[in-house]
A = this chain, B = another copy of it.
């Protein structure tokens, strides 16, 4: 046996051990009353605050060996304010309604059978994430609340931070009397461990990757386990000819520039040709004042020749930066066709005062989230009222859009009879 084969085997056995322990904890977790699950979150929150010093020390150790841009370092960095926000996040999840206390449907058959579709946990969730250490705490909190066990695999750059946060989650579980195996952390930073997770059909029920496009695409390509994720948010704001100009200016500025690095940010403006000459200069002035740069098609450059020219590739590019693609369209159908070709089924918006146009647009986009007269940056679990999200999904199975507690549940049927047999 070669040395090259030894490491993957170690990863598979480590994954199998962790995931099996997580599965073993499922029944106790799912059977625990919501008061116990909430108690674990509150105690974990307390432990995060009580252990600030050791968590920040662990984070400093990660930062010391971190290479990368200042944005990368910033994502990785913890401070007392961020720790307090993380602790508050756990309390917020504890305050949410119990997603397992839901009867999703209930009906009575002509033969008297009463059929109920009731919520239940999915099982073991594998969470693969990069850089931001708070993702581990948020994900663990949502998992515990929804009765799911979770196996966390953070990036190697945040290894010590993740371990320190995980220790606080364990304290919470221990205080509440729940099995510690409910929340597990990868024991290694070896990349082969991720491969083992992706192959763990039957041990892991759902994989959720949070991170850059290359990570998510690798997970989507290789996983033999269902995946909830989005690879990118190539989002459009379409300003229709019947738009209110002031509203359009406010929405576009917010959709592009409120935060440019979030997946709900608009990357491309689609603007009806009928109003382009009158509106485009103001849109550009607003965004320029906020520090935005542009990639414009020929029609836009006929109106404002100083705009930089867009290449075809630009319209396929998720900038996550202060750059806006601009395309002038003849009408709503051209806008829809552009979105169908270039979009990522994440989040797209129309600005118009014409309800028929809005309905037509919203009916004909495949986007996970479609908005009428609102900023694309509303694509967020908190803004949906979910209290938290474990990610955004653009697939077609189980969930789309922000994935909150309800989307982390499955269901089963419970049938009450009085002796019925089938004819």
Chain A residues packing against B (C-beta within 8 Å): 27, 31, 107, 109, 113, 115, 120, 122-123, 201, 205-206, 220-224, 226, 244, 247, 250-251, 253-255, 258, 340, 358, 362-364, 366-375, 377-378, 380, 383-385, 395-401, 410-422
Complex interface: chain B residues within 8 A of A368 (CB)? 412-413
* A421 CB to nearest B CB, Å: 4
The 9 residue pairs across chains A and B that have the minimum distance between CB atoms:
A374-B417, A254-B421, A247-B419, A373-B417, A377-B422, A371-B415, A226-B397, A374-B420, A369-B413
Among B226, B258, B419, the residue within 8 A (CB) of A374 is: B419
Complex interface: chain B residues within 8 A of A420 (CB)? 373-375, 378
* A233 CB to nearest B CB, Å: 14
Complex interface: chain B residues within 8 A of A120 (CB)? 366
Chain A interface helix/strand/loop/mixed: mixed
Complex interface: chain B residues within 8 A of A224 (CB)? 221-224
Among B107, B364, B384, the residue within 8 A (CB) of A385 is: B107
Complex interface: chain B residues within 8 A of A220 (CB)? 201
Q: A396-B123, A410-B397, A411-B400 are in contact. Are A422 and B375 (CB under 8 A)?
A: yes
Q: A27-B364, A373-B416, A418-B373 are in contact. Are A383 and B226 (CB under 8 A)?
A: no
- 14 inter-chain pairs at a CB distance below 8 angstroms, sorted by A residue, are A109-B383, A109-B384, A223-B224, A224-B224, A226-B395, A226-B397, A358-B416, A369-B412, A369-B415, A372-B416, A375-B421, A377-B422, A378-B415, A400-B410
Complex interface: chain B residues within 8 A of A247 (CB)? 419
Q: A373-B418, A415-B371, A421-B250 are in contact. Are A398 and B397 (CB under 8 A)?
A: yes
Number of copies of this chain that the complex holds: 2
Q: A201-B220, A378-B113, A419-B250 are in contact. Are A412 and B400 (CB under 8 A)?
A: yes
* A364 CB to nearest B CB, Å: 7
* A418 CB to nearest B CB, Å: 6
Closest to A124 in B: B396
Complex interface: chain B residues within 8 A of A363 (CB)? 31
Complex interface: chain B residues within 8 A of A414 (CB)? 362, 370-372
Closest to A385 in B: B109
* A36 CB to nearest B CB, Å: 15
Q: How far is the CA of A123 from the CA of B345 in the complex (A)?
A: 13
* A253 CB to nearest B CB, Å: 8
B250 touches A396 (CB 8 A): no
* A225 CB to nearest B CB, Å: 9
Q: A206-B396, A363-B31, A396-B205 are in contact. Are A383 and B416 (CB under 8 A)?
A: no
Q: How far is the CA of A220 from the CA of B201 in the complex (A)?
A: 8
Most B Cβ at <10 Å: residue of A31, A109, A364, A384: A384
Q: A31-B364, A372-B416 are in contact. Are A122 and B396 (CB under 8 A)?
A: yes
Closest to A383 in B: B422
Complex interface: chain B residues within 8 A of A226 (CB)? 226, 395, 397
Closest to A358 in B: B416
Q: How far is the CA of A316 from the CA of B392 in the complex (A)?
A: 40
Q: A385-B107, A397-B206 are in contact. Are A415 and B258 (CB under 8 A)?
A: no
Q: How far is the CA of A342 from the CA of B371 in the complex (A)?
A: 48
B378 touches A258 (CB 8 A): no
Complex interface: chain B residues within 8 A of A107 (CB)? 385
Q: How far is the CA of A220 from the CA of B411 in the complex (A)?
A: 20
A396 touches B410 (CB 8 A): yes
B370 touches A413 (CB 8 A): yes
Complex interface: chain B residues within 8 A of A385 (CB)? 107, 109, 115
Closest to A375 in B: B421
Complex interface: chain B residues within 8 A of A244 (CB)? 419
